Amino acid sequence: MRSSKLTLLQIGAHQVDQVFGQLGGDLLFGSVGEMEPDMILEHFSHKAVDAAQSWKDRTNTDTLRSENRVIQMKKWMGFSGMAVTCAVILLFFFNSAANAQLANRGANFKDIAAPAEGESSEAAVTNSSPCAASSSAIGAEPCAEKNSPKASPSEEQGKAQSQTWNWHVQSTITGDGYPSFSAKYTGSNSLPKAAQARETVSLDFFGGRRLWRGAEFHVDLLTWQGFGLHDTLGIENFPDGEAYKAGTRAPHSAIARFFIRQTVGFGGEKEAVPSDQVTLAGDQPVTRLTFTVGRYSVKDIFDSNAYANDPRTQFMSWSLVANAIWDYPADALGYTTGVSAEFQRPKWAFRYGFFQLPSQRNGFTAESLYLTWPGEDSAGDGRFFHNWGMVAEGERRYSIGGHPGVVRPLAFVNQGEFGSYKAALSVPGANISQTAANRHTYGFGLNAEQEITKNIGVFSRAGWNDGHNEAWLYTDINHSGSLGVSVKGDAWRRSGDTAGVAGVMSGISEVNQRYLKAGGTGILDGDGNLSYGREFAMETYYDHVFPHQIHVTMDYQYVANPSFNRDRGPVSVFGTRIHWEF
C-alpha cells in the first residue's frame, strides 16, 4: 500500500511539473504574448484541464495494471501451491514405496537364509510364497497359491496381501452425436434440433498411502477437457456421464479427491478387501465402522450398483449411474467436502453422510479456489450449518439359489437458498433466482441388483422427491424408475466383454410442469414452453476389452420427450468410449 501511495504522489508531482512547464514555455516562447488577457486565461485553463484529465487516465490505468498484477500473482501462487502439494505427495508415496521394497526384500532374504528348525534350505526356498515376493508391486491384488485347496474363513484371516501404498491411472475419451430431429420450438436450454457432436477427455492419477493402523489417505488429481451435447443441456437423462457441466476447451485440472478413511474393527471373522483406485488391499474385520473425511464423490460411498455405477466402463446415462431423483451434494465436477460413516455387518450395512453444497446452483465449492487450476473465482460454499446435504442408506445382502442380491433403500434432505417453483410463477419471466429463500428438499430412493446366473445380472433404481423447489446439483427429475440387464461375454467366449440394455422413465411434479410452461429454466431443462410428457430413455452398449486393459465401447441411446416435452424429439444419440487404466 505504501508503494502505491508513493507512485500516485510521483505521478501527481510529474503532472504539476508538466503543466507549469507547458505554461512557462507558452509564455516565453509561444504566441501567448500576442493574445488578449482573457484569451490567455482561457488558453491556460484548457491546458490545465487537459493535463488533469491526462493525469486521471494515467492513474486509472496504473491502478488497473496493479490490480491485474495482484490477480495474476494470486493465480500463480494458487497454481504453484497446488503443484508443490502434488510434488510433496508424490515424493511421499515413492519414498514410502522404496522403504517398503527394501523392507520386503530384507524380510524375504531373511526367510530364505534362515530356514526353520528341522527344515532344509531347499524346503525353505520352495515354501516362500510368490505373493510375498511381489508384495511391493504397484496396485498388487491379493493372491493365493495355485492348486492349493480353498481355506476356510478362519484360515483365510491374515492371508490377504496388505498394501502400504498403491497408485492407479485412468483415462477416458467419449464422443457423442445425434442427427437432426423435429421440434416445434427451441428455448435457451433446449437441445438444438440440428445435428451435433461433442467429445470429452478425462485423465486421473490416483494415489493411496496407509497412515497408521486402520487409516488410509487417498488423492485423485483430475484433468478434463471437452463439452457435453449443447453444453450439457436439453436432456434430463443426459447421455454422457463423463460430460461435466463445467465444460472447457482447454484442459483444466483439479484435486478431485483428497480424503482420509479410518476403519475401526470389532474383531471376529475377517474378509479380504481388494485394491482399487480409492482403496488399499488388506484384511478387514467383517464387522467394522468406517469414517471418511475430506473431499470426494458422494457416489464413492452411496447408491453403488454392481451393474450400473461407473460411466467409464458401464452404462453412460446419468439416470443409470445414479438415482436421478437424488440431488446429491456435488460441485460442477461431481465432488464436494464432507464426512460419512459406514457400519458393516455380514449381511447388512448402514451409511450416513453430511456434505457441503455450493453457494451457486451447479457451481463450484469453496475449495475450488485453491484445488482447481485455473482457479474458479466464483467458487464458494454457503454457511456450513446453513447449506448442506444429508443422506442415509441401508443395505441388505441376501442370496437366492446361490446367486447374490442386494437392496439399498436411501433417504436424503438438502437445505439451502433454493428458489420455489410456485413462487416463481408470480415473477416476471419465471425468474426463480428472485425467489431464493432458506428451504428444504427431500426424497427417497431404492436401488436393487440381483445375479440371475454367473454371467447375467439385473438391476433397478426407483425414487421420488417432493418437487416443490428448484434442483440445485444433479437433475430436475422428481420421480423416476429404471430397469436393466447386464451380460458378461463368457457365452461367446469373450469373458472380459460386457453388454447391457436398460430403460428409464422420468417425470416432474405438477408445479414444476407449470413453471416450465411459463418459461422457467432448470439445471438441464427449459424450452420456453411445455407440452408435458414423461421422458423415456433407452440405452444399450457393448464394451470390448483389448490387451493392456483397453476398453472400447459402442453405445446407442434413444430419448423420447426430451426434457419432458412432447413437442420435441425423439432423439437418437450415438456414442463411443475408449477407456484404459493401470
Is 60 exceeded by the pLDDT of residue 468? yes
Place of cell 451380460: 487
* Confidence band of 359 (pLDDT split at 50, 70, 90): confident
Over range 133-161, report the average pLDDT: 39
Q: Which three cell numbers stand for residue 68?
A: 491485474
Q: What is the C-alpha to C-alpha distance for residues 442 and 206, in angstroms, rounded to an integer?
A: 33
Which class in CATH covers the domain with range 156-581?
A: mainly beta
Average pLDDT score, the chain: 80
pLDDT confidence band for 161 (50 / 70 / 90): confident
Q: Is the confidence at residue 327, as pLDDT, over 90?
A: yes
- The Cα-based distances of 180 to 249, 320, 414, 557, 582 in angstroms read 24, 25, 38, 15, 39
Mean pLDDT of 61-78: 45
Of 458, 469, 352, 329, the closest CA to residue 411 belongs to: 352
pLDDT tens-digit profile of 85-131?
A: 444 344 444 444 444 444 444 443 333 333 333 333 333 333 333 33
pLDDT > 90? residue 307: yes
Measured torsion, CA atoms of residues 543, 547, 550, 556, in degrees rounded to the nearest 10: -20
- Whether 222 shows a pLDDT value over 50: the answer reads yes
Q: What are phi and psi of 124, to 5 degrees?
A: -65, -40
Exposed, middle or buried: residue 121 (CB in 10 Å: 0-12, 13-18, 19+)? exposed
With beta carbons less than 8 A apart as the criterion, state whether 361 and 281 touch: no
Q: What Cα–Cα distance (Å) separates residue 558 from each residue in 155, 458, 537, 540, 568?
A: 51, 20, 6, 9, 13
The per-residue pLDDT for 267 is 85
Tracing cell 479456489 back to the chain, one arrives at: 369
Reported as a single tens digit per residue, the pLDDT across 433-460 is: 999 999 999 999 999 999 999 999 999 9
| pLDDT band (50, 70, 90) for residue 548 | confident
User: pLDDT at residue 336 above 70?
Assistant: yes
Cα 354 to chain center, whole Å?
17
The CA radius of gyration of the chain, in Å to the nearest whole number, is 31
Q: What is the pLDDT of residue 360?
A: 87
pLDDT tier, 289 (very low <50, low <70, confident <90, very high otherwise): very high
Please report the pLDDT score of residue 159 as a whole number.
57
Judged by average pLDDT, the poorest of 202-211, 270-279, 305-314 is: 270-279
Contacts for 66 with CB less than 8 Å, ≥ 6 apart: 4
The count of other CB atoms within 10 Å of the CB of residue 488 is 17
Q: Which amino acid is at 171?
A: S
- Distance between CA atoms of residues 531 and 232, nearest Å: 22
3-class SS string, 281-333: CEEEECCEEEEEEEEECHHHCCCCCCCCCCCCCCCCCHHHHCCCCCCCCCCCC
Q: Is the pLDDT of residue 461 over 50?
A: yes
Of residues 65 and 258, more confidence is placed in 258
> Interior CA angle at 278 toward 412 and 246, to 5°?
60
Q: Which three cell numbers stand for residue 107?
A: 524380510
CA distance 125 to 112: 6
Q: For the chain, which residues make up each domain, given as ranges?
A: 1-135, 156-581
Taking 80 as the threshold, does the pLDDT of residue 302 lie above it? yes
Q: Residues 208, 217: contact at Cβ < 8 Å?
A: yes
Tell me which of 214 and 386 has the higher pLDDT: 214
Quick: pLDDT tens for 15-51.
Answer: 434 443 444 444 333 444 444 444 544 554 455 446 4
Neighbour-count burial for 235-270, b at 16+ CB within 10 Å, e otherwise: bbbbbbbbbbbbbeeeebbbbbbbbebbbebeeeeb
Note the pLDDT tens digit of each residue in 485-536: 999 999 899 989 999 999 999 999 999 999 999 999 999 999 999 999 999 9
Q: Give pLDDT, residue 137.
A: 31
Phi and psi angles of residue 45, each rounded to the nearest 5 degrees, phi first: -65, -40
Q: Does the pLDDT of residue 465 top 90, yes or no?
A: yes
Q: Band the pLDDT of 367: cuts 50, 70, 90.
A: confident
Per-residue DSSP letters for 107-174?
HHHHHHHSPPTT--HHHHHHHS-HHHHTTTSTTPPP---TTPPPPPHHHHTT-SPPPSEEEEEEEEEE
When pLDDT is averaged across residues 67-96 and rounded to a whole number, the result is: 43
Q: What is the pLDDT of residue 258?
A: 95
The answer to whether residues 237 and 525 touch, using CB atoms and an 8 Å cutoff, is: no
Model confidence at 143: pLDDT above 90: no
What's the CA angle centered on 336, arms 261 and 348, to 5 degrees? 50
Give the integer Cα–Cα distance in Å for 362 and 525.
13
C-alpha distances in angstroms, 177 versus 194, 227, 341, 575?
11, 12, 41, 7
Q: Has residue 318 got a pLDDT over 90?
A: yes
pLDDT at 498: 97
Beta-carbon count within 10 A of 114 CB: 10
By the 8 A CB rule, do 227 and 200 touch? yes
The C-alpha cell that represents 251 in the structure block: 484442459
> What is the C-alpha end-to-end distance of the chain, expressed in Å?
52
pLDDT over 70 percentage in the chain: 72
